[in-house]
Amino acid sequence: MKPLAALIINPVSGSFSDKKMAGAVKLLEQNYRVTLFYTKKRGDAEEFSRELIKDKPALIGVVGGDGTFNEVINSTACSDIPLAFIPTGTSNVLAKEFSIPEDIQKATERMLSGRARDLHLGLINNSRYFALMAGIGFDGEAVYKVNSKIKRLIGKGAYIISGFQVMVNYSPERLKIIIDEKEYEGYGLIVCNARKYAGPFSVCPDADMSAPHLCVFIMHGRGRIDVLKTVLGIIRGNSLKLDNITYTKGLKISVTGEAHIQIDGDYFGKTPAEITLKEHALKLIF
């Protein structure tokens, strides 16, 4: 009997196509028994994968965006069940991190030809895993205020609109940040487990999901001009040259003060936050 491959599919993600999905399933069926699970609301992917791991499938394929993938890792972390990513989302940051094709057919071919590799995950407040990053402050608030209807219409443009809206009235509180017992202050930070951020950009160029640390980008500027300079620095690829940031690495990051938090592009909640690294928590096929 062929091994089992389960696909968790978000059919309303940005570039999803039923026709292309049918072709991908046909390709997978050459090697696997394939079962499909379609999400209807937020949380379904997490629930599906929680039930699936009881059946010990040979792999779980995630068809959707970074948010769908985040749901799945929060059920499957440390289970030793390999995951594969077929990116059809808004930004597909994870796909860009590992050069996974942003096409259903080609990503399926990569799933079949790739191998499972051990990677690390971030863990926030001992309750939620993230694969890519945790943003605390400006980008957390921008994600918090994204209009879901606009996001469905124009995709990543909704985040840009929200970012400008937040910037107009942005008045952040000072945050106390402790990284491996060393203390800092700032008005926002991005904790990176991966190089890529918000699509093709990079905040922490040394971040690596197989490295035994997290990278931390701390913003010390409070004003709107400071935020704008940081955003432009990230877009231009020279953010580490700014004079109002600290760039460091660590294993335990504690943040107190009041600020919004996003993880992997979805809203998480507000500070306080404690972030740690969970090593060898993910097996990803690429």
Cis previous bond, 200, omega within 30: no
pLDDT value at 75 more than 90: yes
pLDDT in tens, 109-161: 999 999 999 999 999 999 999 999 999 999 999 999 988 777 777 777 888 88
Helix, strand, or coil (residue 232):
helix
pLDDT at 70: 98
- The pLDDT score that the predictor gives to residue 148 is 79
Q: What percent of the chain has pLDDT over 70?
A: 100
* DSSP label at residue 240: G
Phi and psi for 244 in degrees, rounded to 5? -120, 30
- Between the CA atoms of 187, 191, 196 and 199, what dihedral angle is there, to the nearest 10 degrees? -50
Alpha-carbon distance 180 to 193, whole Å? 16
Placement of tokens 């990053």 in the chain: 133
Half-sphere exposure at residue 97, Cβ-oriented, CA atoms within 13 angstroms: 30
Residues 6+ apart with CB under 8 A from 182: 250
**pLDDT in the model for residue 155:** 74
Length of the chain: 286
* Domain boundaries for CATH 2.60.200.40 within the chain: 128-279
pLDDT of residue 151: 78
Q: Which residue intervals of the chain bear CATH 3.40.50.10330?
A: 4-114
Question: Sign (positive/negative) of CA torsion 161, 167, 173, 174?
Answer: positive
Separation between Cα atoms, residue 144 and residue 147, nearest integer Å: 9
Tell whether pTM > 0.85. yes
* Rounded distance between C-alpha atoms, residue 217 and residue 226, angstroms: 14
Task: Find out whether 55 and 27 touch, Cβ atoms under 8 Å.
Answer: no
Classify residue 3 by its DSSP letter.
Answer: P
- Fold designation for 128-279: Tumour Suppressor Smad4 (2.60.200)
User: How far is Cα 121 from Cα 255, in angstroms, rounded to an integer?
Assistant: 19
Q: ∠ CA 265-269-273 to the nearest 5 degrees?
A: 100
Q: How far apart are CA 147 and CA 160, in angstroms?
A: 11
What's the angle, vertex CA 22, arms to CA 18 and CA 27, rounded to 5?
A: 150
Q: Residue 34 — φ and ψ, nearest 5°?
A: -110, 130
Q: Does domain 4-114 have CATH number 1.10.580.10?
A: no
Could you report the per-residue pLDDT of 230-284, keeping only the tens digit for each? 999 999 999 999 999 999 999 999 999 999 999 999 999 999 999 999 999 999 9
Beta pairing, strands 59-64 & 83-87: parallel
CA distance linking residue 226 with residue 44, whole number of Å: 39
CB 245, CB 230: distance < 8 Å: yes
